[in-house]
Amino acid sequence: GLQFCRTEQTDEGDWKEDEDQIVRLKADYIISAFGSMLNEPRVSEAMAPVKMTRWGTPEVNTDTMQTSEPWVFAGGDIAGLANTTVESVNDGKQASWHIHRYIQSLHGQTVDPVPKLPLFYSAIDQVDISVEMCGIKFPNPFGLASAPPTTSTAMIRRAFEQGWGFALTKTFGLDKDLVTNVSPRIVRGTTSGHLFGPGQGSFLNIELISEKTAAYWCLSVAELKRDFPNNVVISSIMCSYNKEDWTELAKMAEESGADALELNLSCPHGMGERGMGLACGQDPVLVRNICRWVRAAISIPFFAKLTPNVTNIVDIAKAAHEGGADGVTATNTVSGLMGLKADGSPWPSVGTDKRTTYGGVSGNAIRPIALRAVSAIAKAIPGFPILATGGIDSAESGLQFLHAGASVLQVCSAIQNQDFTVIEDYCVGLKALLYLKSLELKDWDGQSPPTERHQKGKPVPRLEDLVGKSLPSFGPYLQQRTDAIAEYKKKLRNNNDDVIKADIRQVNTPHKAVPAVKDVIARALRHIGAYQDLSNMEQVQALIDEEMCINCGKCYMTCSDSGYQAITFHPETHLPMVNDSCTGCTLCLSVCPIIDCITMVTMKKPYKPKRGVPISPVC
């Protein structure tokens, strides 16, 4: 074994062992890591044929910790590289990866030279999330929108290295249309209240198109396609309503090697004043003509980026389709004024005069608008490719857009909230969502299983089934609940009915093939239609689970002042009760803080609207 003694230094400078503080450890082997130097000539001789330096230490590759003999690795004191324990530990960590590489190479396996911990591997990792659109294969449906995350080539390069499937360049134009941005220009949204830091529900920007030249971007596209041949690069371009300009810029972008083009016809701020962006994208005639010009000039696919700032976005999409566009991007940002301070000044405010302009709102706040646009276009023009953008911040929200009819997904605000690394969650999340579809799990919503009845996170039985009465989980009733449940469990024990079964984890196996991305595109469209298609004969009403209720009163408050006064509280237990006045509006469920505490169930009696006064016969 090994014995450690606590030592103390005396005033005379001598070291003394404290016999009252001794620690003994059992051990079969003891490995010395206490400044082990090569002081013994016999040890150095035994290390042959490892080459030594003139200082008598092994020659070591400081990147891999490998010596002249590929199977011998050295670090720490013995290699003469480390001066501290921390450095020695780091040597070991660095060497461990390259030892792994060496061992794998003996069996013909190639391992990435960049050290990284292996991830947990399951059948989900085998799911293929590649998708083809317009003859272009995307490694995965997630890409960078033409926005601040694609300000430069280096940023797109880092995104591809991180795992993004495709990227739009920042929108660029001809040299005569070069712009200079103002600042500040990208600010947090106010749609989530006083929420600061990452996780913003929206952003507003007054940023213009790229300040870089078309020549820069064309060189960048060529470079990116050379280094990342399997990733998709789409050039985003913008001109005024001028055939020669669109023809020149489109040809230039095509010749650079771009896989496709995106025509920015929708920038809501700044560019419209120059006769570009929104100035072109709100008129179906202009959109149709621009698409025709570009179609005549190039052979690669191109997509018109649409604005939501129109009465009917479907009309604009149809114009692009008629003009020869291969698809559309829906949607650009929504024009808005994010907020005014207490002194009346706006934010962002530019210059000493604190002036601002209407900017583009992005992020989760515009997701309902973008989903509406994507689904409406997909229903109106079946099979027309759509690149969705606007509030995609997870695999779950991305799947919503795929279900709505999109083929690929563009992301910006979520990256502004975090960084490029979110792509790992998106890809793994989408794989998991597709895999779960093959299991056909009952009552699951994506990756969320059915909510188990609980009180403050702890599973609870239905008390009324046990003791024949309902009791809330607060005040004197809490003790009564505890006593009642304890008595119930005692009876089970006395009857030998409390045998605890082994909690064996159920292994779910696929019942059908895992769907591909293309299989889920537009799946939701059959559920979306006109209001007149909705049945007013199949009504629901609220059902509150008393065991899960925390008696916060939010359902009562909203129903009382915004609904139909259908919820009351028991005068003694304060348990909520839903009466026949409930019309199934679902406000109570919307504000309830406990997931699935309130559910909407089929109304038992036929719904009869309260008209206020008797219906008068028509005279």
Active site (catalytic) residues: 267
Which residues have C-beta within 8 Å of that of residue 88, sequence separation ≥ 6? 33, 75, 76, 77, 82
- Find the helix or strand (DSSP H, E) in which 303 lies: strand 302-305
The neighbouring-strand residues paired with 131 are: 138
- CB 136: neighbour CB atoms within 10 A? 18
Which residues have C-beta within 8 Å of that of residue 403, sequence separation ≥ 6? 520, 521, 522, 523, 524
- Find the helix or strand (DSSP H, E) in which 527 lies: none
> Tokens 């679902």 identify what position?
586
The three-class DSSP label of residue 576 is strand
For residues 441 and 511, what is the distance between their CA atoms, to the nearest angstrom?
10
Q: Are strands 15-25 and 131-133 parallel, antiparallel or unpaired?
A: unpaired
- CB 510: neighbour CB atoms within 10 A? 13
Q: Are strands 136-138 and 334-336 parallel, antiparallel or unpaired?
A: unpaired
Look at residues 179, 189, 139 and name the one whose alpha carbon lies nearest to residue 163. 139
Which residues have C-beta within 8 Å of that of residue 552, sequence separation ≥ 6? 593
For residues 337 and 406, what is the distance between their CA atoms, to the nearest angstrom?
29
For residues 104 and 94, what is the distance between their CA atoms, to the nearest angstrom?
16
For residues 463 and 488, what is the distance between their CA atoms, to the nearest angstrom?
10
DSSP string, 4-41: EEEEEE-TTS-EEEEEEEEEEE--S-----SS-----H
Strands (E) in 10-141, as ranges, are: 15-25, 131-133, 136-138
Look at residues 547, 414, 416 and name the one whose alpha carbon lies nearest to residue 474. 547
352 neighbors 381 (Cβ within 8 angstroms):
no
For residues 169 and 233, what is the distance between their CA atoms, to the nearest angstrom?
7
Q: Are strands 232-237 and 166-168 parallel, antiparallel or unpaired?
A: parallel
